Amino acid sequence: MSLSLSRERNSEEITSFQNLNPSFKSLGLIDPLLEAIEQLDYKTPTDIQVEALPPALEGRDIIGVASTGSGKTAAFALPILQKLWDEPKGLFACVLAPTRELAYQISQQFEALGSAMGVRCTVLVGGMDMVTQSIALAKKPHIVVATPGRLKDHLENTKGFSLRGLKFLVLDEADRLLDMDFGPDIDGILKAIPKERTTYLFSATMTTKVAKLQRASLSNPVRVEVFYGVHLVQYYLFVPLSQKDVHLVYLANSLAQNSIMIFTRTVHDAQRLSIVLRNLGFAAIPLHGQLSQSQRLGSLNKFQSGSRKILVAQIGLDIPTVDIVINFDIPTHSKDYIHRVGRTARAGRAGKSITLVTQYDVELIQRIETVIGKKMDLWPTEKDEIALLRERVEEACRLTATELREEGGKGHRKRRRGGREDKDDTETKEDGDAI
């Protein structure tokens, strides 16, 4: 078995099992949007995008139960931009957001996704100069992203500005909009826009207030939901780099009843850790880019059928749900983190993610926390138990290193005897596992 020690690019993990996920193209998006998506390096649509895009592109109103980190902004921005491409007339869409920061983020995503079609966006938020905003409005933007109070101000005071030609209204983070007492402003805005329009309402939670707003503003909507962040508890575990293996085994041990997906950065670690865990008696199986397609499917089948409780993966994949996601290596890109932890806490079920953080990863975890909009909790550990495990884990690691060396040697000899180049990839032990 020849194993690469190179650091694979994290974002590639999402593409590797693309055949199991619909692509942006198959969802019916037009070329200028597909180009922008490629530029942004979005490999596959997130769950909320998979669910929301088809009905949205058919022209339906949408209620999206989803929070920050789910990819909800693109889920509402893409169908709006697609329709804008067909009829680029006047002020086309208005997005209401509860905070200034969110409004700017939304506008940036519209601009990035609409970059190949020259979309013009304006942000109208409190605390900024009204006159400058009025000048921006006079330049006829296609999209306005606003906090409700300031938008209402402009409707009342800015000459020549109206929402009468509007085709789309988005109420983003509706629960927060209503918690912040924007209800009356929103009512005023609803009166100033045409009834004939498409409306998208996104909210992390469906409160009674949100349900009331929904009845007042949407017609015959399609409801799509992902529970990212609602039923998911996200933990981190601070460990010195040299002690990652023993902490991983500790986690596997204390969570033994659960289905666990462990993500690694390299092929080598996926292979190595699955053997270490097996040498310690855990039913672990690897999944990485150097396995043949049939071995990958074999690994997946065993994991999904429950005959293996632990999948150690270096590549992404779409499986219905797991109880626990462990990031043995913290992802370098926040969006990869989101995709990974999205394997758990699906369809209303509870789930946990635990990310190992070393002394070199502090900045990365802070960046992830900013993107997901929450602080992770510290996973509690029993120091004595870890100390007790240490010797056995070190022994298992030594044994594994020897096994891997021998496997490597065998592969090498086979190649010298003129065996097929990919022999290493297809080699399996007698029970058919990929290790």
72 contacts ligand AMP (rule: CB under 6 A):
yes
Nearer to ligand AMP, 72 or 176 (CB): 72
71 contacts ligand AMP (rule: CB under 6 A):
yes
Nearer to ligand AMP, 171 or 276 (CB): 171
Nearer to ligand AMP, 71 or 221 (CB): 71
- Span of 72-80, 166-174, 256-264, 313-321 interacting with ligand AMP by CB under 6 A: 72-80
10, 16, 21, 68: residue in contact with ligand AMP (rule CB under 6 A): 68
335 contacts ligand AMP (rule: CB under 6 A):
yes
The least distance separating ligand AMP from the CB of residue 185, rounded to whole angstroms, comes to 23
Q: For the window 138-177, what string marks contact with ligand AMP as x by the rule CB under 6 A?
A: ----------------------------------------
Nearer to ligand AMP, 42 or 250 (CB): 42
* Residue ranges in 42-61 that form contacts with ligand AMP under rule CB under 6 A: 42, 45-46, 49
Nearby residues of 27 by Cβ (< 8 Å), 6 or more positions away: 45, 49, 50, 53, 54, 57
Nearer to ligand AMP, 71 or 98 (CB): 71
182 contacts ligand AMP (rule: CB under 6 A):
no
Nearer to ligand AMP, 133 or 355 (CB): 355
* Parallel/antiparallel/unpaired status of strands 121-124 and 222-225: unpaired
Nearer to ligand AMP, 42 or 182 (CB): 42
Size of the site for ligand AMP (CB under 6 A): 14
Nearer to ligand AMP, 180 or 371 (CB): 371
The least distance separating ligand AMP from the CB of residue 273, rounded to whole angstroms, comes to 26
Question: What is the C-alpha end-to-end distance of the chain, expressed in Å?
Answer: 9
70 contacts ligand AMP (rule: CB under 6 A):
yes
The least distance separating ligand AMP from the CB of residue 208, rounded to whole angstroms, comes to 24
The least distance separating ligand AMP from the CB of residue 76, rounded to whole angstroms, comes to 9
**Which amino acid, 354?**
I
The least distance separating ligand AMP from the CB of residue 360, rounded to whole angstroms, comes to 23
**Residues in the site for ligand AMP, rule: CB under 6 A?**
42, 45-46, 49, 68-74, 335, 338, 371
